[in-house]
Amino acid sequence: MCGFVGFTNNIKQTEETLHKMMDTIIHRGPDSSGEYIDDFVALGFRRLSIIDLEFGNQPMFNEDKSLVLVFNGEIYNSRELRDVLVKRGHDFSNQSDSEVLLHAYEEFGYDFVKELRGMFAFIIWDKNNSRIFGARDMFGIKPLHYAKMEGSFIFGSEIKSFLKHPSFKKELNREALENYLSFQYSPCCETFFRGVYKLPPAHYFVYENEKLEISRYWMVNFEEEGGKQLEEWADEIERVFDDSVEAHKISDVEVGSFLSSGVDSSYVACSANVDKTFTVGFEQHKYNEIDYAKELSKYIGVKNINKIISPEEFWDNFAKIQYHMDEPLADPAAVALYFVCKIASEHVKVVLSGEGADELFGGYNVYKDPVENALYEKIPYGIRKLVAKFLSLFGERRGINYFIRRGQKVEERFIGNAYMFKKREREKILKHPVYASSADKVCKPFYDMVKNKDDVTKMQFIDLNMWMVGDILLKADRMSMANSLELRVPFLDKKVVEVSRKIPLKFRVNRENTKFALRRAALRRMPKQVADKKKLGFPVPIRVWLKTDKYYNIVRKAFKSEEASEFFNVSEILKLLENHKNGKKDNSRKIWTIYTFIVWYRQFF
């Protein structure tokens, strides 16, 4: 695992600039560094040594040094690809998966990315063709950003390194703020820094003759396969997941596993045969999964290392966490993830985690909504819409909200696991709204791709392409890398998705539970109460803290600050805070979304 930076070389202080950019991401690779500079391009690399500790340094070259690579990630089928390439006459100088990428590019051209199994973001500088080729893995596990500014093409693992480049112009993208207020993360390709973009998952780019072309190379296709019973699907899941875990454990250093109270991390821990699991929790019992983790760790015979996060630690580290995030992320679980990565990094260099299971196997509780309300939704949409319109005149109330939601199509009401501020709400709290697209319009291109699927599959597809990339995997990468830890996600595997995409809806989500087939497979390795446990997420007591004077006052001070008044109608956001503290309404997530932006803005602007 590592990080890289680079730019087309048309500036005067090339070496000095490259070193500054590399130093900014030293947390991604504290073990060693490398650089390559010629008349056209400058490449910098920071390494966290995991595989081929002696010879895996980068930038890496092919035999005649016409290709130069910087690569962040792991290729789990590199040995199989190496065998194919050797048979075709390629000579290898080391055992790293990095060299496989160079020879595969030589042999197969751009299409070689379709053959890769792993997590990756990489750049290949093709000197003979004056071409830069960049690619990102099929799920978006590893990040890749780019910008074209003042004649320079800049790229790298983290945006913060771009700020050290003399051509970089730092400007806030206010449209990103409006979208963020709805999603709690930045959902579009253009980031909070105007002119800086994220390469989407399953895409590659070619930069040649100062022109950038971006292409998609893969898309998940949910296609139910009939004929198999539940236990047969459990067999398939068990087989493919065990294979994925073995691939994800390939390492020349010790591998550990995260463990919460959920079935996903529990299934990873029960399958991985590691020596250590890692868990964090909070003082309040409702927000503490440590006792459970200790019990399961004892059940499978491994050592559990855990930590209670104090409120002071949580709040004191929040600014640093937003700095590492690059863009604001208002998911409180990111802070908990930071601390579990921190304790894990004191014992191992690689850790396995359960991200991706919910999106692939149908795990979020909200996915039960279309199943549980199927009878009411048989009423013609026009009638449901009229009922919802009439009842909305009475405002938001328990009971009424059910019918209002049923008067919307899934494309209107679901944008992912978080929906903070509707368009009218965010325009009300913003001092100078720029009237960015509504949240449903941002999601529309993805809904259009699955317009003939059932509602649960549509929701999974939205989460796979938006929520998982913008929230789940962003915090997984940034919080692990902030602690120089490699986080691997065996559910997000090429072979696993080939099974999960075929599972019939009734074995994904039904009235009994979510992730139905996955839980059946997990039941073979853990107690029933664990396998069947309801999805909780990563519980953080933000709601409770915001009602105490100490943390209420911290947020109130931020809401009355100069930074807040630049963007928000202060009276409106203070009203959200007061109503929460007084118990009139649980506004904790909305408050946290605003507060997170203010804290992030202070870090970068």
Domain layout of the chain by residue ranges: 2-216, 230-363+461-531, 541-605
152 forms beta bridges with: 149
In the prediction, which pLDDT does 378 show?
Answer: 84
Q: Say how far apart CA 486 and CA 564 lie, in whole Å.
A: 36
Helix, strand, coil percentages for the chain (3-state, nearest 5): 50, 15, 35
Residue type, 567: F
Q: What digits encode the pLDDT tens for the residues 533-551? A: 777 666 789 999 999 999 9
Is residue 370 within 8 Å of 377, Cβ to Cβ? yes
Query: Going by C-beta distance under 8 Å and a sequence separation of 6 or more, which residues neighbour residue 252?
Result: 49, 50, 51, 52, 53
Cα(551)–Cα(555) distance, rounded to whole angstroms?
6
List of E strands, 331-409? 350-352
Cβ-based burial of 394 (10 A; exposed 0-12, middle 13-18, buried ≥19): exposed
- pLDDT score recorded for residue 538: 67
DSSP H/E element including 551 = helix 549-559
- For domain 230-363+461-531, the CATH class is alpha beta
The one-letter amino acid code at 550 reads K
Distances (CA, A) of 435 to 310, 330, 444, 590, 595: 39, 21, 17, 19, 21
| pLDDT on residue 321 | 98
Residue with tokens 């899934």, as numbered in its chain: 410
DSSP code at position 430: B
Q: How many C-beta atoms lie closer than 10 Å to residue 315's C-beta?
A: 15
User: Backbone phi, then psi, for 67, in 5-degree steps?
Assistant: -120, 140
Instruction: Find, among 168, 164, 55, 69, the residue nearest to 121 by Cα.
Output: 69
User: Is there a cis peptide before residue 539, judged by omega within 30 degrees of 0?
Assistant: no
Cβ(283)–Cβ(561) under 8 Å? no
Q: Is 2 a catalytic residue?
A: yes
- 455 CA to centre of own chain: 23
Nearest-5° Cα angle at 264, 119 to 492: 20
Amino acid at 285: H
CATH class label, 2-216:
alpha beta
**Of 2, 188, 341, 443, which one is the catalytic site residue?**
2
Task: Please state, in angstroms and rounded to a whole number, the distance separating the CA atoms of residues 566 and 557.
Answer: 14
Within 10 A of 163 (CB to CB), how many other CB atoms are there?
Answer: 13
Residue 583: burial class (beta carbons within 10 Å; 0-12, 13-18, 19+): exposed
Tokens 């703020």 correspond to what residue?
Answer: 177
- Give which of 55, 476, 49, 480 is closest to 253, Cα–Cα: 49
Q: What is the pLDDT of residue 56?
A: 60
> In 3D, which of 135, 139, 50, 140 has the Cα closest to residue 97?
50
DSSP state of 588: H
Q: What is the C-alpha end-to-end distance of the chain, expressed in Å?
A: 29
Q: Give the integer Cα–Cα distance in Å for 142 and 469.
A: 10
How far is it, in rounded angstroms, from Cα 104 to Cα 116? 10
**Strands 350-352 and 276-282, bridge-based pairing:** unpaired
Q: What are the backbone angles phi and psi of residue 208, rounded to the nearest 5°? A: -150, 135
The pLDDT assigned to 54 comes to: 60
CA angle 8, 10, 13 (to 5 degrees): 105
Phi, psi of 421 (to 5 degrees): -120, 125
Dump pLDDT digits (tens) for 315-363. Answer: 999 999 999 999 999 999 999 999 999 999 999 999 999 999 999 999 9
Residues with pLDDT less than 70, the chain: 1, 49-56, 285, 396, 536-538
d(C-alpha 34, C-alpha 43), whole Å: 8
Distance CA 99, CA 78 (A): 9
Cα separation of 45 and 21, whole Å?
10
**Cis amide bond preceding 59, omega within 30:** yes
Nearest-5° Cα angle at 557, 552 to 559: 95
How far is the C-alpha of 57 from the C-alpha of 53, rounded, in Å? 8
Per-residue confidence (pLDDT) for residue 388, from 0 to 100: 82
Q: Give the up-direction half-sphere exposure of residue 368: CA atoms within 13 A in the CB hemisphere.
A: 13
